Structure formats: structure tokens, C-alpha cells
Amino acid sequence: MKKTSIMLGLAVACICLTPACTTAHHIDLRNYETSHQEAKTQLIPRSVLFGNPDRGQVRLSPDGQYVSWLAPVGGALNIWVAPIDDMANAKPVTQEKKRGIYRHRWGYDSRYVLYRKDKDGDENYHIYATDIVGGTTRDLTPVKDGVRATIEARSAQYPNRIIVGINERDPAVFDLYMVDVNTGERSLLKINPGYAGWVIDQSLTPRYGYETPKTGGARIVDFDGNTFMDIPIDDYLTTEIIGFDASNRYLHALDSRGRNTSALVRIDTQDGAVTTLAQDSKADVQRMILHPKTNEPLAYSVEYMTEKWEMLDPELSADFDFLTGRFNGAMRIVSKTDDLSKFIVYSSEPDKPSRYYTYDKKSGSVDYLFSTRPDLQKVKLQPMHAIEIKARDGLPLVSYLTLPTGSDADGDGRPEKPVPLIVSVHGGPWGERDKYSYDPSAQWLANRGYAVLSINFRGSGGFGKAFLNAARRQFAGEMHDDLIDGVNWAIAERIADKNKIGITGGSYGGYATLVGLTFTPDVFACGAARVAPSNLVTLIESFPDYAKPYLDSDWYKFVGNPEIAAERSDMLQRSPITRIDAMKSPLLISHGANDPRVTKAESDTIVKKMEEKNLTVTYANFPDEGHGFSRPENVAANYAVTEHFFAKCLGGRAEPFADVFDGSSIEILSGLSYIDGLADALEQHSVKSKTVQ
């Protein structure tokens, strides 16, 4: 069952695989050493932290004969494939040249790799299949512009077929089509009578529709209209179907009904009996390892402060015990063969670049493949401290602190003296959370001289439905209070210099940044917002048609319905656009012109209002981007501008602009003169960019 409701989910412009700066990362880091307070520390190049990974997202073919990964070709990420016994013979099998590929998966026949691609960030995806033998790529969903396609179902029982959903007939709903991956032949399977989603079994037969009543919540119904499963509104965001097992009798689901946290359950479709397979009292079950053929859950994870894996399958348990001993627990199985004889193991810690390994079950061998960013192994990264901050009403807020390089000599998690602090706010807000893991943005800002505090404010995902539902109608209310409580904690602990506190985030995090500068203007010295909503009314009114079936259970519930006068008034009161008169501090705002979730008008409007008030604002627009930035040249440009913005207002360090704008579509639409050296850098490198003072 797919939920395609709008979440403002891009908290940072790029994480892990998203490209940023260059295609080559083998930089002499010695050239970037500069003095910083008492310690001489390396200024880590932005390209090393945010550029294209050398290799990443490694996957095994189901038959175990091939390994695939993403790596650059001419600056854009593409899919590479190598025989598992001849890694040196790897070749790119796709030839994307502009935006690159960021997710891929193998077809069950081990001959095709599947991926999706949109047009300049508009999120109207097409589904593509690349033949690793012939090297040809076929668009499986050759629909017109403005139409969105999704993979709705695949099955090991029918390795050469997939079911796709396409909203060509009606932009609000997705009709089902059966597609032959070998030939590209497509046939209509089922017209959508108004379902918000589908539940499809392992025989690729649609079994249920997903209804979203105006009262909120959801009903899973058969095609005669009989209710199979009722999901109350308070469980809507914490309950979802995972899929059928191979018998097509049992459904697995994450289910919070009758409990606080989401449990892994098995549902008998014949009598409706529900069996609980796994649960945790403090955190939702989130990730799972499923058997590649039977679709049975083999393992699951929960994450409160840190991630914890538990095994359901005794045989896999022995493998996990063996691997945990080798990796000190900081690992995850990310790919496996159909016979479970080989695995790809991913190891990641907050202060180390991610690494990939192969594990051969029969021989018991663990072989290193590669690091995603080998140049990061040459520098010292900062540890991340997991902490629990109490909100003013006593609610525990799981948070993560990263301190500036050289500021914590004794390693006790407290700097020797208060330092500039940046609050980094995740997107979503529901369904997303900050985690104890490698975070390139945190490492970047810490290296530049800032403490970074990431707070899982109420409404963040993974902590149970009570914590999530505590965010109801609390935009710019208690959700923001949680951030302020985190700031006050950092000041009281002598971590933060109260006069040098910034805030940043993308999507919901961008909204939180605008709220910080307008609702609590005395707290923050400046803010950098990406793809940020400024008006909750116009935000919701501009959502694409395919998001509207879900609004009663998420945005109307949490924020309000703009068609109801009293709620519309409350939404405007919680909108930064109505609080411009309170602003004092500089704002950097950046947007993608094709953003379908938060339209560019949200940034246009607040910038215009700030200009009318002669407030300090710098506005960067990217005409060929959407909800977040994907093209390497654009990500590089945005990070460079952000870095120099914070250096101006908080006093940290910044890598020179150099040639970072070459090839970027960046337009500086306002406030060109605020950031030192920005105008000269744009002019010097002949960027074809609209720059307006």
C-alpha cells in the first residue's frame, strides 16, 4: 500500500548519494589548512563532503552473479554493474547526463535494473529499465509531460512483470497497468474508481483499495466495498501495509492500533486475525529485512536514540551475530541474493564515511568493497552525541549534538567555552526524524566552527503515535517551542553563545527557520531556509492533485483546512508571511523553480515582503530544480552561498568560492551584496545567471 501524501521531507539539500560539487574528489587536503582559534584544523572541502560519492548504493543481483552501484559518469550518477568475481571489469550501463540517478533496484530476473527519473525536479516520474546484457534502456511509462508514474508492485513469482500506477486519466488517482519489462508492452489492469492506493498480492493481483474518508483515517476495502481494515485518524501515519506473503493469504503490516508504537503484525485475510510479531515500548518498528522469495519478515529494527536490530529468523540470527562482532554493531544488511547465500553489508558511524562489504555465508568471509567517500578517511570527523532534552511540558526530545572541530579537548561532549550554534531542523515533519548516523551537513558546519543541534521535535516519526500526534495544530506552536527549549538547554549547558545562534533546514525545516526569525526574532542571529513554506494556506492550496486524497488525515488534521474560515485564520496566524514586521535578522532563502510540494511562490512572496520592509534577505533560485537540489553544480553553488552567509552573520569559516558557480543555473534574485565576495565570484566565472541587486 502506497501513501503518496505530501511530506515536506527534504531537510537537507543532499545526503549520502546526492551530488554536490565535483566529479573528482581526490583533493590535496593540505591546501585547505587554516588557523581557527587555538587549534589548526583542516577546512574540509565542500566537494569531499557533498560531491558525488565515488561509489554508493551497492546492490546484489538476485542470482548473486552481479554487483551494481551508483557512481559518476561525466558528473552525473549512473548505474554501474560488474560480475561479482570480476569487480575490475565494472561498466556503466546507463548514460544519464544531467540530473543523475539516485535510487535503483534489480529486477527479479537479474537481467534488468530499474530506476525512475523526472524532469528538472517536477516529480512526475517515468520508470526505466536497463538491460545489463544489451546495454539498452527502455522507458516503461512513456507518458506525456505532467503525468506521474509509480511502481506499485513486483513479485518474484513473475520476475519479468511489474505493475505501475499512472495518473494520466485522472491526476488525482493512479490507474494500474501491467508492464512486461522485457518488451515494454503495457496493458490496463484496473481503472481506479477513486482509491488513494492499492494493496496487491504476490500473484500481481489487486486485492484491496485504500479509501480516505472525509472524517480522516483510512479504510482498506475489497472491490465490493467491504471493509477489511479500518485505520483511525490517530493511527493513520503510524499504520501501513507492507505486503502479502507468498501464500497470498497473510498480510504483513506496521500497526499502531490499540497500542502507542507501531508493531510488526501478520493479518490473516480469511478471518482477520492479527498476530503481533515484534514491538518495542519506546520506538516504532521501522526497517525490515524480508525474504526475497516468500516476503516473510526475517529481521526488524527500532530506533530510539540509536538503531537496534532484532532477528525473527534463527538462521539469519547466526549471521547477524557473526557480523555484529566484526562491525561493533554499526552495520546493516542492505542487499541479499535470492538464496540468502550472499549479502551486501553497509557500515556507517557518525564520524566515519560509509563503507560496503560482501559477506559470503558459506565461506564465512567478509570482504571490503569500498568507501563511498575515501577522501573523508584522510580527515578527522567529529563525534555525534546522542542526548535527551526535556521539553517545557516534560516531553523527551531525542536530539543529537555535534561540536566544532577542536572545541572539546577532553571529549566530554561540552566545548571548553560557548561556541556559535546552528539548529538544524529536519523536514517532513511527520514520517521523518534525525538519527544517530553520519551526517555530512553536521560535519560540514562543525568543521566551519559551529555546534550543530538536531532536535526531534514533537511530530517527528519513529517515536510512537502519541509523540507524533502531539504536533496536531502545533505548527509555530509547541513544535517550535521544542526547538527553543533545545536552544535554551544548549545555552544553559554553556555549549552555545546566546548571541551567535543560527537556524537552518529545508522544506518543513525551512518553514521552521522562517518561524524562528519571525516568531522568536530575539533568539536567532540569522537563518538559512531551503524550499520553505511561508504561508500555510497557499502551501496547502497549491498541492498537486495526487496529494489531495490524503489531506484530511495529515495536513487538515495537523495544520488546518483553508476552506474553513476559522481554521484558515489560525493557519495564517501560524504563517511567517504574517509576521514580517517582527523580523530583525538576515535570511538566506533558496528554492527550486519546479518544486511541486512547496511552490516557488512561497519564497517569492516572503522575499517581496522583506524587500518592502528593507529587511536583509538573499534569495537564490534554481530554474532547473524542484523540492531540493540534485544537479551537482547547483548543490555546490547552494552550499557555497550558505557557507558564506553563515560566515558573515555568525563568524565561522568558509572555503573560497573559487569556480563553484561554473555550470550552475543559480539566480541571485535579491540581496546580492550581503554575502561578501558573492557578486565578484559570479561575475568572475561568467555564470549565466540572473543577478539582481
Instruction: Judge contact between 48 and 373, C-beta under 8 A.
Output: yes
Pairing of strands 91-92, 384-390: unpaired
Hunting for cell 508571511 — which residue is that? 577
How far is the C-alpha of 12 from the C-alpha of 9, rounded, in Å?
A: 9
Residue 630 in grid coordinates: 540534485
Neighbours of 483 (CB within 10 A): 25
Identify whether 595 is a catalytic site residue. Answer: yes
Residue 113 is inside which H or E element, if any?
Answer: strand 112-117
Which residue in 401, 370, 373 sits closest to 388, CA to CA? Answer: 401
Neighbours of 528 (CB within 10 A): 27
In sequence order, which residues have a C-beta less than 8 Å from that of residue 565 and are 6 or more positions away?
A: none
How far is the C-alpha of 118 from the C-alpha of 422, rounded, in Å?
A: 33
- The torsion defined by the Cα of 225, 231, 237 and 241, in degrees rounded to 10, comes to -60
Q: 284, 375, 552, 595: which is the annotated catalytic residue?
A: 595
DSSP per-residue letters across 10-42: -SSS--TTS--S-S-----GGGGEEEETTEEEE
Instruction: Judge contact between 216 and 233, C-beta under 8 A.
Output: yes
Which residue in 668, 607, 669, 651 sits closest to 502, CA to CA? Answer: 651
Identify whether 385 is a catalytic site residue. Answer: no
**Phi, psi of 387, deg, nearest 5:** -135, 165
Hunting for cell 551497492 — which residue is that? 58
Q: What is the CA radius of gyration of the chain?
A: 25
For helices 508-519 and 478-492, the axis angle rounded to 10 degrees is 70
What are the E-state strand segments in 245-363? 250-255, 263-268, 274-278, 285-290, 297-303, 307-311, 331-336, 342-349, 352-360
How far is the C-alpha of 61 from the C-alpha of 65, rounded, in Å?
A: 6
Longest Cα pair distance anywhere in the chain, in angstroms? 73
Instruction: Judge contact between 478 and 458, C-beta under 8 A.
Output: yes
Q: 104, 426, 627, 644: which is the annotated catalytic residue?
A: 627
How far is the C-alpha of 568 from the C-alpha of 563, rounded, in Å?
A: 7
* Burial group, residue 473, by CB count within 10 angstroms (0-12, 13-18, 19+): middle
Pairing of strands 331-336, 342-349: antiparallel
Q: 110, 437, 507, 665: which is the annotated catalytic residue?
A: 507
Classify the C-alpha dihedral 688-47-652-623 as positive or negative: positive
One-letter amino acid at 95 equals Q
In sequence order, which residues have a C-beta less than 8 Å from that of residue 412 and are 6 or more positions away?
A: none
How far is the C-alpha of 292 from the C-alpha of 141, rounded, in Å?
A: 25
Output b/e per residue, 650-672; b: 16+ Cβ within 10 A: bebbbbebeebbebbbbbbbbbb
List the catalytic residues: 507, 595, 627
